[in-house]
């Protein structure tokens, strides 16, 4: 039986992993959050790995408050960089494969073609920079790793764009959403399946990978689809980023090329609107 540690155990990706694996007797998964294991405490991490015999660590823990990170640089760095570094050292010491989740925000968005794993990462924000530092720490410490960059993650769980739009749709008659930031919404349930596929296939093609759903959208497109599919009546207007200033700069274009992970795992990636329909259906079923 494979024993797996999942950090960020209360987050949406960890919850999606739990949804999928509830009836899987071949996996023993331990979920931890900061109350159980503070990944910024190196001694605590080493001690925890010493007491348990893990085969894999899936690092879902991250400081993801993009705008707040601009004024909380030290905390973002502790979680996204130091935490990742501590896990990499522990994985190396105890022969554990690390699966680390990163972000499209490592790019500056100035490209017009899809970003590959070989393209230069030049973050615009503290969040993006600390996530890139975490990636580099893992690469320098540990060979047995998978780093998966994803984008615009949402699900039935936690706080995310989908749930924010549904809430605002129930409270307001009109809303404006930025139209000039282009990327790909990604359903956390799909990403969870890919991570579990890596584990179940005993994959050893370690390295950096991009994963998002297929297709291209603006935040306006994403919001429009949420309201259309959920049949929410709302007057939605597109606005430019300059009309909605935020503390953190975001890439204008961050669509990622997924050819590498598709070829290595021999998978077909769902189109983003198809996965959005599934997430909305699941949310309706929970009511």
What are the tens digits of pLDDT across the range 52-107? 999 999 999 999 999 999 999 999 999 999 999 999 999 999 999 999 999 999 99
Position 160 scores a pLDDT of 95
Q: What is the mean pLDDT of residues 206-230?
A: 96
Position 224 scores a pLDDT of 96
CA angle 132, 81, 272 (to 5 degrees): 50
Reply yes or no on whether the pLDDT at 225 is more than 70.
yes
Q: What percent of the chain has pLDDT over 70?
A: 99
Q: What is the mean pLDDT of residues 233-250?
A: 90
Q: Which residues contact 284 (CB under 8 A, 6 or more apart)?
A: none
Reply yes or no on whether the pLDDT at 28 is more than 80.
yes
Question: How much is the mean pLDDT over the chain?
Answer: 94
Position 287 scores a pLDDT of 62
Reply yes or no on whether the pLDDT at 286 is more than 80.
no
Position 13 scores a pLDDT of 96
Reply yes or no on whether the pLDDT at 173 is more than 90.
no
Where do the structural domains in the chain lie, given as residue ranges? 2-160+185-214+254-270
d(CA 230, CA 209): 32
Examine the residue annotation and report whether 220 is marked as an active-site residue of this protein.
no
Reply yes or no on whether the pLDDT at 243 is more than 90.
no
Q: Which of 63, 89, 127, 220 is catalytic?
A: 127
Closest-CA residue to 163 (of 283, 26, 261): 283
- Is 2-160+185-214+254-270 assigned to CATH 3.30.470.20? no
Q: What is the mean pLDDT of residues 215-230?
A: 96
Reply yes or no on whether the pLDDT at 25 is more than 80.
no
Position 26 scores a pLDDT of 83
CA dist 174 to 119, 149, 226, 238, 273, Å? 39, 33, 14, 11, 22
144: how many CB neighbours lie within 10 A of its CB?
14
Reply yes or no on whether the pLDDT at 120 is more than 90.
yes
d(CA 144, CA 105): 24
CA angle 129, 251, 116 (to 5 degrees): 80
Reply yes or no on whether the pLDDT at 279 is more than 80.
yes
Q: What is the mean pLDDT of residues 109-133?
A: 95
């Amino acid at each position: 039986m494979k024993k797996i540690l999942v950090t960020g155990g209360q987050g949406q990706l960890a919850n999606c992993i739990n949804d999928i694996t509830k009836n899987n007797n071949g996996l023993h998964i331990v979920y931890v959050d900061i109350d159980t294991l503070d990944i910024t405490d190196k001694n605590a991490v080493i001690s925890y790995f010493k007491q348990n015999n893990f085969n894999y660590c899936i690092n879902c823990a991250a400081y993801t408050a993009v705008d707040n990170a601009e004024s909380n640089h030290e905390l973002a760095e502790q979680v996204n960089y130091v935490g990742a570094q501590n896990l990499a050292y522990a994985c190396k010491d105890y022969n554990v494969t690390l699966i680390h989740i990163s972000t499209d925000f490592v790019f500056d968005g100035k490209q017009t073609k899809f970003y590959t794993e070989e393209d230069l990462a030049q973050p615009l924000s503290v969040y993006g920079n600390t996530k890139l530092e975490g990636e580099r720490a893992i690469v320098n410490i540990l060979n047995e790793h998978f780093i998966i960059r994803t984008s615009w993650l949402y699900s039935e769980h936690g706080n995310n764009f989908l749930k924010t739009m549904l809430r605002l749709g129930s409270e307001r008659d009109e809303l404006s959403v930025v139209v000039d930031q282009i990327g790909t919404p990604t359903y956390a349930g799909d990403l969870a399946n890919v991570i579990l596929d890596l584990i179940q296939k005993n994959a050893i093609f370690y390295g950096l990978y991009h994963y998002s759903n297929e297709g291209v959208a603006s935040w306006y497109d994403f919001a429009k689809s949420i309201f259309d599919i959920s049949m929410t009546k709302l007057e939605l207007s597109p606005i430019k980023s300059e009309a909605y200033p935020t503390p953190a700069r975001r890439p204008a274009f961050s669509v990622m090329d997924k050819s590498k992970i598709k070829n290595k795992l021999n998978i077909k990636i769902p189109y983003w609107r198809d996965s959005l329909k599934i997430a909305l259906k699941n949310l309706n079923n929970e009511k």
